């Protein structure tokens, strides 16, 4: 069979289209195959929140902290200046300064209370960020970070009234004990904080801290779901929130 020059060029062109252009497009993220498909097992909520029963927290326990920091490749610099932390303990008197008074029981005053990002319904950090690198996810209210967009201006750290945010003042990677390949490490010069384990929710898992707590002191759930455990808990118990008077509408509820 004699192939004309014209046909040959046509075939060459078509094979280029199929064999060359398509993979190139896919590599650029335009191809169908690279679309992110949500897992059918994922946990879906309209307003995620957490209740912390401080009475159930055993003294000296930090299982939840370790689980979170392991899961999210949080570095340990070993000094408070460069410190990066997502969830940690602070004395009751510093978490709830308005609740401190002269005759408060000493034990209660110094009792360690877990603190983390409050995933505010009206988050000042999101309002002040000049690049939308930190944003509130519309569907479930989680306040998230895009580590690739953050310019490291630290306006969010000034804006957060809870001290929930950490800056990578140095390269964190050499200070991560064991890297979890399931979650990205960060670069120097960006801010980070608790993400309510959005990466685990997407795989159908509850947050790492909640899972790690043997005492069931942490309850995570959807406030918009009247049947959720957290709703029942908020109905049955009086809870405190950190600095609710600021109008940030924090979504971490404390049973004290």
Judged by CB under 8 A, the stretch of 25-33, 34-42, 157-165, 222-230 that binds other proteins is 157-165
Judged by CB under 8 A, the stretch of 39-47, 66-74, 163-171, 198-206 that binds other proteins is 163-171
Query: Pattern 64-103, binding to other proteins, x per CB under 8 A?
Result: ----------------xxxxx-----x--xxx-x------
Residue from 207, 248, 251, 254 in contact with other proteins (CB under 8 A): 248
Is residue 150 near other proteins by the rule CB under 8 A? Answer: yes
Is residue 173 near other proteins by the rule CB under 8 A? Answer: no
Chain centroid to CA 251: how far? 13
Q: How far apart are CA 136 and CA 127, in angstroms?
A: 10
Type and span of the H or E element at 23: helix 22-27
Min dist CB 58 to other proteins, Å, is 22
Q: How many residues does the chain have?
A: 256
Residue from 128, 144, 202, 256 in contact with other proteins (CB under 8 A): 128
Q: How do the residues of the chain divide into helix, strand and coil, expressed in percent and rounded to 5?
A: 30, 15, 55
Type and span of the H or E element at 166: strand 166-167
Neighbours of 116 (CB within 10 A): 23
Is residue 161 near other proteins by the rule CB under 8 A? Answer: yes
Q: Which two tokens stand for residue 183?
A: 């979650």
Min dist CB 96 to other proteins, Å, is 10
Min dist CB 207 to other proteins, Å, is 22
Residue from 54, 180, 185, 187 in contact with other proteins (CB under 8 A): 187
Asked whether 78 and 133 are in contact (CB, 8 A), the reply is no
Query: Pattern 19-58, binding to other proteins, x per CB under 8 A?
Result: ----------------------------------------
For 1, 11, 106, 115, 124, the CA distances from 8, given in Å and listed in that order, are 12, 5, 88, 69, 63
Question: ∠ CA(254), CA(255), CA(256), 5° rounding?
Answer: 105
Judged by CB under 8 A, the stretch of 43-51, 101-109, 129-137, 214-222 that binds other proteins is 129-137
Of the pair 124, 207, the CB lying nearest other proteins is at: 124
The phi, psi pair for 248, rounded to 5°, reads: -80, -15
Min dist CB 137 to other proteins, Å, is 16
Question: Dihedral (C-alpha) 117, 118, 124, 127: value to the nearest 10 degrees?
Answer: 80
Name the residues that contact other proteins, by CB under 8 A. Answer: 80-84, 90, 93-95, 97, 115, 124, 126-133, 149-155, 157-163, 166-171, 187-191, 243, 246-248
């Amino acid at each position: 069979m004699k192939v004309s020059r014209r046909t040959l060029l046509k075939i060459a062109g078509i094979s280029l289209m199929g064999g060359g252009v398509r993979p190139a497009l896919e590599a650029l993220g335009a191809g169908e195959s690279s679309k992110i498909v949500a897992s059918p097992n994922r946990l879906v909520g309209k307003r995620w929140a957490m209740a912390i029963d401080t009475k159930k927290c055993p003294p000296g326990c930090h299982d939840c902290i370790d689980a979170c920091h392991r899961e999210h490749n949080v570095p340990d610099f070993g000094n408070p200046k460069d410190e990066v932390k997502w969830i940690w303990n602070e004395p009751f008197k510093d978490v709830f300064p308005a609740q401190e008074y002269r005759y408060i029981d000493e034990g209660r005053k110094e009792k360690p209370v877990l603190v983390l990002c409050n995933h505010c319904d009206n988050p000042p950090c999101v309002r002040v960020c000049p690049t939308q690198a930190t944003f509130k996810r519309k569907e479930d209210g989680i306040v998230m970070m895009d580590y690739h967009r953050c310019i490291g201006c630290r306006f969010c750290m000034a804006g957060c009234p809870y001290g929930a945010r950490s800056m990578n003042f140095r390269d964190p990677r050499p200070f991560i004990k064991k890297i979890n390949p399931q979650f990205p490490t960060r670069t120097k010069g960006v801010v980070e904080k608790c993400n309510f384990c959005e990466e685990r929710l997407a795989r159908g898992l509850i947050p790492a801290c909640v899972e790690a707590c043997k005492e069931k002191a942490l309850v995570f759930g959807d406030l918009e779901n009247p049947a959720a455990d957290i709703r029942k808990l908020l109905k049955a118990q009086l809870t405190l929130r950190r600095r609710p008077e600021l109008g940030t509408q924090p979504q971490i509820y404390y049973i004290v």
